[in-house]
């Protein structure tokens, strides 16, 4: 198997801040992929219902996701093993869980994210049917990943993040944020009856399956060995600062533009509704600005998944019948048959769901297995990074362990809540 790693990538960590900033990339991709339209809706609703009360929840959520991202990267740099190899060392049950989850998740998520991308473009160009836009987005993502290299993918994602920043943050600036009240929201407070709402907001800031893809992306950059650990912390920190700004921007819009109006928003269609309101207040240019940001947010999620999750699936396939100690000398290639098979799975079978009702049994299983992934990731990172599999100087310290324990408890509570909600439907 041939590596797709770019041999011209920098092989030693940069020493200056200027050089560090030019190399930032994989963390930003993880964060941009994890911040989907659903996260924007959640932040918008939070601002609309509670003003700036939950600024602290957004900040805490970014810190918690940073710790998970850093943990995935540190594991790989310290051990030379991917996160999937780490899971595999804990027992075959991890492969069974991830294998079942990845198949069901890919089928349902593929349809959902194509539809999300289509909502924004359909609002901008209603002459073309929603299902046509959905299929077009799936095909564009497929072709970009199938024919391109990581370097092209990173450039496209970086450009889209730039569009997100200008449009989403620009919308927040447009409504003139109340900076004093914004800072007041940094102090934690939980209004009566809003505890689970606050926990959900913490858990939803930039968290997704693609957190586990970070190790494969840093390998594509040729960041190899423990000397890169300080840099991946920098890379991840920049990423989640940007994530926090995105999320806070929608909270600002809700707090300044809609707080106290009694308006309600449900699902991603609420972002289209908000765009219309912004257009009525500030002009058609504001409507376009926001819808373009909505589109960029959704399309980065699609591209990140199309490129990142097939690495995990290909790793699963090559270790399926191997001993836990098996070490493949080559990194996963984007041309590997298993990688491309999962890319096909993400793109084409989900298109059927654009025309059919989602099968209830699969939706329930998707909800249950999906609710378990983030506590699974947090728990396995805690286990791996405190074990003898990692050299002692790269193991967790008290702060890392404390944050991972908070992650485990938070996502365990959210998992139970999600499973109860899913089974009661």
Q: Per-residue confidence at 31, pLDDT binned at 50, 70, 90?
A: confident
* Domain-located, residue 122: yes
Question: Binning pLDDT at 50, 70 and 90, where does residue 6 land?
Answer: very low
Report the domain count for the chain.
1
Above 80 in pLDDT, residue 369?
no
In a domain, 331, yes or no: yes
What is the model's pLDDT at position 1? 37
State residue 410's pLDDT score.
92
Is residue 84 in a domain? yes
**Whether the predicted pLDDT of 5 surpasses 60:** no
Express each pLDDT in 342-358 by its tens digit. 999 999 999 998 887 66
Residue 197 domain-assigned (yes or no):
yes
Answer yes or no: is 307 within a domain. Answer: yes
Kindly state whether residue 2 falls inside one of the protein's structural domains. Answer: no
Tell whether 210 is covered by a domain. yes
- Is 7 among the domain residues? no
Percentage of the chain exceeding pLDDT 90: 53
pLDDT value of residue 146: 95
Residue entry with tokens 């030379």: 80
pLDDT at 206: 57
Tokens of 103: 């198949």
3-state SS track over the chain: CCCCCCCCCCCCCCCCHHHHHHHCCHHHHHHHHHCCHHHHHHHHHHHHHHCCCCHHHHHHHHHHHHHHHHHHHHHHHHHCCCHHHHHHHCCHHHHHHHHHHHHHHHHHHHHHHHHHHHHHHHHHCCCCCHHHHHHHHHHHHHHHHHHCCHHHHHHHHHHHHHHHHHHHHHHHHHCCCCHHHHHHCCCCCCCCCCHHHHHHHHHCCCCCHHHHHHHHHHHHCCCCCHHHHHHHHHHHHHHHHHHHHHHHHHHHHHHHHHCCCCCCCCCCHHHHHHHHHHHHHHCHHHHHHHHHHHHHHHHHHHHHHHHHHHHHHHHHHHHCCCCCCCCCCCCCCCCCHHHHHHHHHHHCHHHHHHCCCCCHHHHHHHHHHHHHHHHHHHHHHHHHHCCCCCCHHHCCCHHHHHHHHHHHHHHHHHHHHHHHHHHCC
Q: How far apart are CA 405 and CA 410, in angstroms?
A: 8
Domain range for 81 is: 19-423
Confidence of residue 231 (pLDDT cuts 50, 70, 90): very high
Confidence of residue 165 (pLDDT cuts 50, 70, 90): confident
**% of the chain at pLDDT higher than 70:** 93
Kindly report the CATH number assigned to the domain that includes residue 378.
1.20.1740.10
Q: What are 107-161's pLDDT values in tens digits? A: 989 998 999 999 999 999 999 999 999 999 999 999 999 997 899 999 999 999 9
Cβ neighbours of residue 385 closer than 8 Å, sequence gap 6 or more? 71, 74, 75, 395, 396, 400, 404
395-421 average pLDDT score: 91
The contacts of residue 353 (CB under 8 Å, 6+ apart) are 107, 108, 110, 111
pLDDT grade, residue 299 (50/70/90)?
A: very high
């Amino acid at each position: 198997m041939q590596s797709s790693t770019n041999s011209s990538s920098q092989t030693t960590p940069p020493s200056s801040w200027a050089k560090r900033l030019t190399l930032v990339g994989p963390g930003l991709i993880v964060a941009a992929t994890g911040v989907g339209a659903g996260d924007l809706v959640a932040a918008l609703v939070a601002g609309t219902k509670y003003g700036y009360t939950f600024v602290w929840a957004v900040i805490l959520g970014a810190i918690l996701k940073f710790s998970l991202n850093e943990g995935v990267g540190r594991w790989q740099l310290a051990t030379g093993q991917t996160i999937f190899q780490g899971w595999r060392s804990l027992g075959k049950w991890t492969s069974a869980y991830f294998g079942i989850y990845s198949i069901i998740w890919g089928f349902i998520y593929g349809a959902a994210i194509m539809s999300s991308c289509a909502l924004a473009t359909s609002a901008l160009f209603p002459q073309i049917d929603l299902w046509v836009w959905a299929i077009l987005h799936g095909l564009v993502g497929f072709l970009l990943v199938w024919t391109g290299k990581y370097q092209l993918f990173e450039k496209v994602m970086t450009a889209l993040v730039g569009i997100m920043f200008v449009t989403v943050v620009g919308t927040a600036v447009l409504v003139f944020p109340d900076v004093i009240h914004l800072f007041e929201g940094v102090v934690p407070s939980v209004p009566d009856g809003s505890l689970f709402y606050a926990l959900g907001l913490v858990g939803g800031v930039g968290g997704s399956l693609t957190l586990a893809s970070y190790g494969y992306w840093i390998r594509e950059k040729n960041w190899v060995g423990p000397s890169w650990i300080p840099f991946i912390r920098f890379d991840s920190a920049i990423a989640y600062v940007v994530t926090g700004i995105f999320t806070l921007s929608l909270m600002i819009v809700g707090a300044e533009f809609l707080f106290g109006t009694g308006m309600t928003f449900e699902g991603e269609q609420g972002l289209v509704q908000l765009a219309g309101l912004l257009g009525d207040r500030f002009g058609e240019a504001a409507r376009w600005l926001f819808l373009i940001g909505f589109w960029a947010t959704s399309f980065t999620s699609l591209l990140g998944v199309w490129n990142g999750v097939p690495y995990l699936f290909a790793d699963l396939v090559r270790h399926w019948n191997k001993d836990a100690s098996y070490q493949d000398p080559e990194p996963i290639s984007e041309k590997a048959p298993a990688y491309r098979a999962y890319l096909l799975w993400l793109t084409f079978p989900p298109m059927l769901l654009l025309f059919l009702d989602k099968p209830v049994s699969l939706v329930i299983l998707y909800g249950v297995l999906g609710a378990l992934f983030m506590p699974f990731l947090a728990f396995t990172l805690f286990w791996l990074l405190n074990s003898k599999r990692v050299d002692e100087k790269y193991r967790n310290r008290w702060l890392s362990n404390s944050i991972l324990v908070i992650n485990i408890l938070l996502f365990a509570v959210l998992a139970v809540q999600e499973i109860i909600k899913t089974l009661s439907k």
